[in-house]
Chain A
Amino acid sequence: MSDLATPSLSEAARTPLYDLHCALGARMVAFAGYAMPLQYASGIIAEHFHVRAQAGLFDVSHMGQALLEGPSAARRLEALVPAAVVTLAPGRMRYTQFLDSDGHILDDLMVARLPGEGASECLSLVVNAGPKAQDFAHLAEHLPELSLTIEKDRALLALQGPIAAAVLARHFSGIETLPFMAAATFPSEGGEVRISRSGYTGEDGFEISLAAESAPAVAERLLAEPEVRPIGLGARDSLRLEAGLCLYGHDIDRTTDPVEAGLLWSIPEHRRRSGGYLGADPVSKAIVEGPARRRVGFLIEGKALAREGAIVTTPDGAEIGVVTSGGFSPCLGRPIAMGYVETSFAEPTTPVRLSARGKALEAHVAALPFVAHHYFRGSR
Chain B
Amino acid sequence: MTTIRYTKDHEYIRVEGDTGLVGITDYAQAQLGDIVFVELPKVGKRLKRGDEAAVVESVKAASEVMAPVSGDVVAVNDALEGTPGLVNADAAGEGWFLELRLTDTTELDGLMDEAAYRAFVASLD
Contact = CB atoms under 8 A, between A and B. Distances in A.
Interface stretch (B59-67, B70-78, B101-109): B59-67
A44 B39 contact: no
Interface size class of A (residues with CB under 8 A): 20 to 34
Interface in B1-54: 9-11, 24, 28, 31-34, 36-37, 39
Given A6-B31, A43-B88, A305-B62, A1 B56 contact: yes
Contacts of B84: 303
Given A1-B64, A304-B39, A305-B36, A45 B59 contact: yes
Contacts of A234: 33, 59-60
A191 to B, nearest CB: 37
Nearest to A3: B63
Nearest to B10: A1
A2 interface: yes
Contacts of B37: 303-305, 328, 335
B36 A328 contact: yes
Given A303-B36, A304-B37, A1 B28 contact: yes
- Interface centre among A6, A304, A356, by most chain B C-beta atoms within 10 angstroms, is A304
B124 to A, nearest CB: 8
A21 to B, nearest CB: 16
Given A39-B33, A44-B34, A1 B11 contact: yes
A357 interface: yes
B96 to A, nearest CB: 14
A327 interface: yes
A307 interface: yes
A224 interface: no
Contacts of A1: 9-11, 24, 28, 56, 63-66
Nearest to B66: A1
Contacts of A357: 55, 62
Interface size class of B (residues with CB under 8 A): 20 to 34
A209 interface: no
B113 interface: no
B105 to A, nearest CB: 23
Contacts of A304: 37, 39, 55, 57
A307 B39 CA distance: 15
Contact of B63 (A2, A27, A44, A335): A2
A238 interface: yes
- Interface centre among A307, A328, A356, A357, by most chain B C-beta atoms within 10 angstroms, is A328
A23 interface: no
Contact of B57 (A2, A27, A305): A305
Nearest to A303: B37
Contacts of B32: 4
Interface of A: 1-4, 6, 27, 38-39, 43-45, 234, 238, 303-305, 307, 327-328, 335, 356-357
26 contacts: A1-B63, A1-B64, A1-B65, A1-B66, A2-B66, A3-B64, A4-B31, A4-B32, A4-B63, A27-B33, A38-B60, A39-B33, A43-B88, A44-B33, A45-B59, A234-B59, A238-B59, A303-B37, A303-B81, A304-B39, A304-B55, A305-B36, A305-B62, A307-B62, A335-B36, A356-B62
Interface of B: 9-11, 24, 28, 31-34, 36-37, 39, 55-57, 59-66, 81, 84, 88
Given A335-B36, A356-B62, 12 more contacts: A1-B9, A1-B11, A1-B63, A4-B32, A43-B34, A44-B33, A234-B60, A303-B84, A307-B61, A327-B59, A328-B36, A328-B59
